[in-house]
Chains A and B, each alone.
Chain A
Amino acid sequence: MIKTDILIIGAGPTGLFAVFEAGLLQLKCHLIDALPQPGGQCAEIYPKKPIYDIPGYPEVLAGELVDNLMEQIKPFQPGFTLGERAETIEKLENGSFVVTTNKGTKHQAPVIAIAGGLGSFEPRKPLLDNLSDYEDNGVAYMIKEPEIYRNKKVLIAGGGDSALDWSIFLADVAKEVTLVHRRNEFRGALDSVEKVQQLKNEGKINLITPAEVVGLHGEGKLEKVTVTNTDASEETDVTVDHFIPLFGLSPKLGTIADWGLEIEKNAIKVDNSLDYQTNIPGIYAIGDVNTYPGKLKLILCGFHEATLMCQSAYQRIHPDKKYVMKYTTVGGVTGFDGSKKEAPKAVVKAIN
């Protein structure tokens, strides 16, 4: 069981900044995120795109903003459970909560802050009738252990970086790699596109474009897929052991919607007159995942919400303590790692 003061669900910019504000109050944080890296949408969808409305930054790349936030919160040693999705919540008699992920990791905290953005990122699945019959029986949406493809026949569908990169990687591992994409053009790093071209020329990747997978066949496990060439309207059957559609990710609110929280317009209703608490005391929702009158889904608003949430969480965790907000310029930043940052003292020296 991982124990912390504030359990933050979602490691996007809002969740990350909450660690800083909590740290100033000597509260420890742990973050859960379904993606394998922190940063949320900023890291996953648009790391190379500029943002122009972060106060004090005329321009910052989304990926840089995440790097800066990670640097800013480092002294507060946040814990991370990455690549796992928060699935269930349970309230204990002492008032604290236990959140369990899809992989069974348990986390306990007196305060939960949902900073889940648009939800957890789930693979986009192609529209094929019997797709679910073959999930884990030949169909996978992510490559977790490349070794299982050794000496197998693999068909990858998709036209982005992950489809290209895995085709390149598996060309050396699998017995046969087929890459199917709806266009002749691929959207990926130039290196990857050129490498796939080279592997195709060497006969190591069987490229079928412009084409689409339209049917799956096999008894109990996947044995064959039907591919339609969209230019010629020709159908071909390809014998395969594995079909890996890599069509990117899309966010889903998922099981958080079943936690008994008030939901409106795919977002969690909170009290914006006070502390961004939900209808369940002790559970807060901050950033893009929440809604209230006049809500704006902006990173800068998430930062503000995270700050007020931490003040309320402090009162909740320490109901008897008196506390007055202190400016970082005055109080400095004392990390849990023993580091201390503070404004340099003025020099007092006589001039004779």
Chain B
Amino acid sequence: MSDIKLKITDREGVSHEVDAPTDMNMNLMEVVRSYELAPEGTIGICGGMAMCASCQCYIQSDHQLPEKSDDEDAMLAEAFFVKDNSRLGCQIHITEDLDGLEVELAPEEG
């Protein structure tokens, strides 16, 4: 079994416990989309290229995440509602280390 558990708080403040596979080359944005925790067309707009901030989320647990790439860092520098714990969901690969990760989706941009 290679599923991990994630706790994702949607934009309405509702918390969801979901299972995410670690063997399907998925990222956090895709997990959110697969469970339809945010309406289609409001998340993952650029498809996962770190070129929009529609999958921005706040990391609430103290998991050790991979460093931000330059692309992600630059995108977050231009995004809105950014906090110190902001990350782009599309840049976070689902791995076994992330079991128990808690995140909250950032609000949709205007």
Q: Please report A residues at the B interface, Cβ cutoff 8 Å.
A: 41, 45-46, 49, 118, 124-127, 158-160, 181-183, 185, 187, 247-248, 250-251, 253, 265-267
Report if A266-B42 is in contact (Cβ < 8 Å); known contacts: A45-B51, A46-B49, A185-B74: yes
- State A158–B78 Cα separation when bound (angstroms): 7
CB atoms of B109 and A185 under 8 A apart: no
B77 at interface, CB cutoff 8 A: yes
CB atoms of A265 and B109 under 8 A apart: no
Closest B residue to A124 by beta carbon equals B109
B-side contacts of A126, CB under 8 Å: 80
CB atoms of B77 and A181 under 8 A apart: yes
B41 at interface, CB cutoff 8 A: yes
CB atoms of B49 and A118 under 8 A apart: no
- State A266–B36 Cα separation when bound (angstroms): 13
Among B51, B52, B78, B80, point to the contact of A127 (Cβ < 8 A).
Answer: B80
Interface string of B70-88 (1 = CB under 8 A from A): 1001100110110000000
CB atoms of B45 and A159 under 8 A apart: no
Please provide the 8 A-B residue pairs with the shortest distance between their CB atoms, ordered closest to farther: A266-B41, A187-B74, A265-B40, A183-B77, A182-B77, A127-B80, A247-B78, A45-B51
B39 at interface, CB cutoff 8 A: yes
Q: Please report B residues at the A interface, Cβ cutoff 8 Å.
A: 39-42, 45-46, 49, 51-52, 54, 70, 73-74, 77-78, 80-81, 109-110
6 contacts between A and B (CB under 8 A): A41-B46, A45-B49, A118-B45, A124-B110, A159-B78, A185-B73
- State A216–B58 Cα separation when bound (angstroms): 28
Please give the distance in Å from A69's CB to the nearest CB on chain B.
Answer: 19
CB atoms of B110 and A266 under 8 A apart: no
- State A351–B39 Cα separation when bound (angstroms): 70
- State A297–B24 Cα separation when bound (angstroms): 19
A-side contacts of B78, CB under 8 Å: 124, 158-160, 182, 247-248
A-side contacts of B77, CB under 8 Å: 159, 181-183, 185, 187
A-side contacts of B51, CB under 8 Å: 45-46
Report if A265-B39 is in contact (Cβ < 8 Å); known contacts: A159-B74, A159-B78, A160-B78: yes
- State A168–B51 Cα separation when bound (angstroms): 24
A-side contacts of B45, CB under 8 Å: 118, 250-251
CB atoms of A266 and B40 under 8 A apart: yes
Report if A250-B109 is in contact (Cβ < 8 Å); known contacts: A159-B78, A185-B77: yes
- State A41–B74 Cα separation when bound (angstroms): 19
- State A266–B33 Cα separation when bound (angstroms): 14
Please give the distance in Å from A40's CB to the nearest CB on chain B.
Answer: 12
CB atoms of A118 and B74 under 8 A apart: no
CB atoms of A250 and B42 under 8 A apart: no
A-side contacts of B54, CB under 8 Å: 250
B-side contacts of A125, CB under 8 Å: 110
B-side contacts of A247, CB under 8 Å: 78
- State A98–B81 Cα separation when bound (angstroms): 40
- State A251–B45 Cα separation when bound (angstroms): 8
- State A160–B70 Cα separation when bound (angstroms): 13
- State A250–B77 Cα separation when bound (angstroms): 16
Among A181, A250, A267, point to the contact of B52 (Cβ < 8 A).
Answer: A250
